[in-house]
Structure 1
């Protein structure tokens, strides 16, 4: 597959995951309890695949693109920095969701704020790459550049797209495919 198309398809998939994450977090506003296991799967997937495979490959492509298209350097530097912000905010969100899964008592507003930060950063990040970077990368990067970008991260199958993750992400795959409806329950009266 064309590397630009592959990059675009991964972005579309990540955007769908962020939409499901947003839908689950929105239940907090209505007094329901989101499916915390699903939230944890989404954040874990994005941390384990996107941050460990997709973003390192992008960083290598950004480095090469900055040499070929110096006018993009400020945007590319910011996007590289955003990879770290996304990773840190993802870690914080995962910590909070893990606490919720283990029935810890914590303010719902903490989860809402952490999720909102993560979602907003990630969506804006993807939009900038799609609008500002991918068109130039398609014109400027060579086969050698794309090969170096591919080799910048370990060869790891995407666990949601034919990867070997066993049953871990089965529910998440079904939810993204629209096969299963959201699962919410009324929040306990003692929720913060």
Structure 2
């Protein structure tokens, strides 16, 4: 499995979580009871995993391929900027939820708008990488490139979707399985 296919699998997994948040948005729009703790867990996982594992691997992969194709360089640079923007959006939303969990008052329509914005931006980013960057990387990469990257960017165990869930994500994993089976 190449590094890009591992990153693609991360995108598949992140998309599952974003689908859960989309369902939560729809329930909230129809006066559903919000589960802020679960939403915080989902957003926290997405933000934490992306910031500490996924985006650093992508950024190092992009640096490896830098200079091979001008168009690829442009979209990779755009993507690196997006990584920083997404970090801010996720962090801001987590602060909002934390405030709500500590009795801060926020109109529900404002919370829904922020949650929708988070989901929209995350999905757009995944779509951008899948549609504009990964195909270009695959076109310029050789088997030797993938072998070098596999050594320099080893896959880390995913704390939610891996074989063994980290303690902090066990409840989220249960909720994810319930949601997928519902």
Q: TM-score, normalised to structure 2's length? A: 0.86
| Structure 2: distance between partners of 1:170 and 1:179 | 14
Which stretch shows the higher mean deviation, 72-81 or 169-178?
169-178
Hey, what does 2:41 align to over in structure 1? 41
Hey, what does 1:61 align to over in structure 2? 61
Residues 44 and 94 of structure 2 are in contact (CA less than 8 Å); yes or no, is this contact kept in structure 1? yes
Q: TM-score, normalised to structure 1's length? A: 0.81
State the Cα distance separating 1:136 from its structure 2 match. Answer: 2.3
Gaps spanning 5+ residues in structure 2: where?
Answer: none
Gaps spanning 5+ residues in structure 1: where?
Answer: 183-192
Residues 175 and 181 of structure 1 are in contact (CA less than 8 Å); yes or no, is this contact kept in structure 2? no
1:175 aligns with 2:179: no
Residues 93 and 115 of structure 1 are in contact (CA less than 8 Å); yes or no, is this contact kept in structure 2? yes
SS in 2 for 1:68: coil
1:113 aligns with 2:110: no
Matches within 5 A, 1:1-192: 1-141=1-141, 142=145, 143-148=147-152, 150=153, 156-160=156-160, 161-163=162-164, 165-166=166-167, 168-178=168-178
SS in 1 for 2:99: helix
State the Cα distance separating 1:84 from its structure 2 match. Answer: 0.8
1:49-79 Cα deviation digits (max 9, x unpaired) = 1111100111111222232222212211111
SS in 1 for 2:67: helix
| Structure 1: distance between partners of 2:166 and 2:129 | 28
